[in-house]
Amino acid sequence: MLEAKNKGYVLPVTFLSNWIRFQQNAARQWRNTHSASQLTQAYRLYTLALAGHPELAAMNRLRETPKLSNDTKWRLAAAYALAGQEKTAREIMQTATIDFQPVINDYHTYGSPFRNQALALETMVLLQDNRQVKIAEAIAQELSSDRWFSTQETAVALLALSKMVEKNGGKAIDIVIKQSGSNTTVKTTRAMAQRDIPTRAGNNNFSIKNNQNNVVFVRLIQHGQLPLGEELSESQNLQIITNFLDGEGKPIDITSLRQGTEVTVQVRVTNTTSSAVRNIALTQLIPSGWEIINTTFTELGGGASGQARYTDLRDDRVYYYFDLAARETQTFTLRANASYLGTYYLPGTQAEAMYNGQYFVRNKGRWVHVIQ
């Protein structure tokens, strides 16, 4: 939110002021319970300093807390740096290490050694620590690998790297992309640039010429979308069974439904492992010719049901967020109506653990018809 504001985006005034007031109160009432609590407080103090409202008393109290975790030290140093207390920030940073190891409380802050390393890089950039180059290279190399990253890891790493690029500058880019007899010139004072390159069926060849005496790193990003009905069905440690039921709870063939038919979409998600998994996101979309029967705003309530921590009901889909114990199965239901005549596509159901790439499942979609 604060980074967006610094980039020129307008925030609701009361939203920001209410958040600042809440965080100030939480910072003043904080009590040390474990290392995750320390890091949460340090991050709270960092964001308050980023918002221009540093809580120096709370920062000093946290600094004097015995046995501060390494990750807390890096974040607290950033808070002091933003508050203009560079000497204190450097003193704290000198007691921290760049040896980032897994800790038992990482899960409480959506953290990992990689995420925490990126947080430390952000502090190094603020204080212009010489180790930032080594850490940035390690983070960039890791980001370029094929391993799975959580949203927290990706966002923090990219944010830290972008701040380093902005702080340290770099030589301008001046390159020419040659493709099929046509040239595209990319000339900018920025450190990074991205261009779309049109392709055609068959082989596509192009070359890049650097007109400056500097090193330009080139990355080719390709993306596409499989044809409808040819999606990849995959599963790892999660299982999904989707059933479609009529008003009496009996299975119904949805390939061809009469207009006005009500359908209950029943989704069963199972954790097939002997370990609990948290923060699972289940996405259930419906065909554009169907309508979700949303009764949440009436006395009937409901519309979508299940033991989810949070349910996000939209016009054409429902998101469920929940946890699963070892071998546990959760069942979610959604009521819909085949409202509009025509042929439509029903996307597959998918679920994934947002912070653990070892848990996911997705199945294929199908074509459905709404007839008179």
Facing residues of 329 across strands? Answer: 270
Q: How far apart are CA 88 and CA 226, in angstroms?
A: 54
For residues 231-246, b (16+ Cβ closer than 10 Å) or e, as one string? Answer: beeeeebbebeeebbe
CA 251 to chain centre: 36
Q: 189-225 pLDDT, tens per residue? A: 887 889 888 787 778 888 999 998 877 888 888 877 7
Mean pLDDT (the chain) is: 91
Q: Residue 209 to residues 24, 38, 55, 179, 218: CA-CA distances in angstroms?
A: 53, 50, 51, 11, 11
* Residues 351 and 242 sit within 8 Å (Cβ to Cβ): no
> Is residue 11 pLDDT above 80, yes or no?
yes
- Position 170 scores a pLDDT of 62
Q: 247-274 pLDDT, tens per residue? A: 888 999 999 999 999 999 999 999 999 9
Q: 57-95 pLDDT, tens per residue? A: 999 999 999 999 999 999 999 999 999 999 999 999 999
- Position 294 scores a pLDDT of 81
Q: Where residue 301 falls among pLDDT bands split at 50, 70, 90? A: low
DSSP string for 147-178: S---HHHHHHHHHHHHHHHHHH--PPEEEEEE
Residue range 168-197: mean pLDDT, rounded: 84
Whether the CA torsion 152, 155, 158, 162 is positive or negative: it is negative
Q: Where residue 298 falls among pLDDT bands split at 50, 70, 90? A: low
- CATH class, domain 234-371, is mainly beta
Give φ, ψ of 251 to 5 degrees: -55, 140
> Cα–Cα–Cα angle for 351, 160, 148, nearest 5°?
30
Percentage with pLDDT > 70 across the chain? 97
93 is written with which tokens? 């940073």
Mean pLDDT lowest among 118-122, 156-160, 293-297: 293-297
> Is residue 303 pLDDT above 80, yes or no?
no
Strand, helix or coil for residue 247 = coil
- Position 216 scores a pLDDT of 82
DSSP H or E stretch at residue 56: helix 56-63
Strand, helix or coil for residue 190 = coil
Task: Identify the burial level of 45 via C-beta atoms within 10 angstroms of its C-beta, where 0-12 means exposed, 13-18 middle and 19 or more buried.
Answer: buried
Residue range 110-123: mean pLDDT, rounded: 95
Residue range 145-174: mean pLDDT, rounded: 87
- Position 317 scores a pLDDT of 93
Give φ, ψ of 43 to 5 degrees: -70, -35
Percentage with pLDDT > 90 across the chain? 69
- Position 34 scores a pLDDT of 76
Q: Where residue 299 falls among pLDDT bands split at 50, 70, 90? A: low
Q: 22-51 pLDDT, tens per residue? A: 999 999 999 988 778 999 999 999 999 999
- The domains of the chain are located at 2-168, 170-224, 234-371
**Strand ranges, E, within the chain:** 173-179, 182-188, 206-210, 234-236, 238-245, 256-258, 262-271, 277-285, 290-292, 304-305, 310-313, 317-324, 329-338, 342-346, 350-353, 360-362, 366-371
- Position 257 scores a pLDDT of 95
Residue, of 251 and 301, whose pLDDT is higher: 251
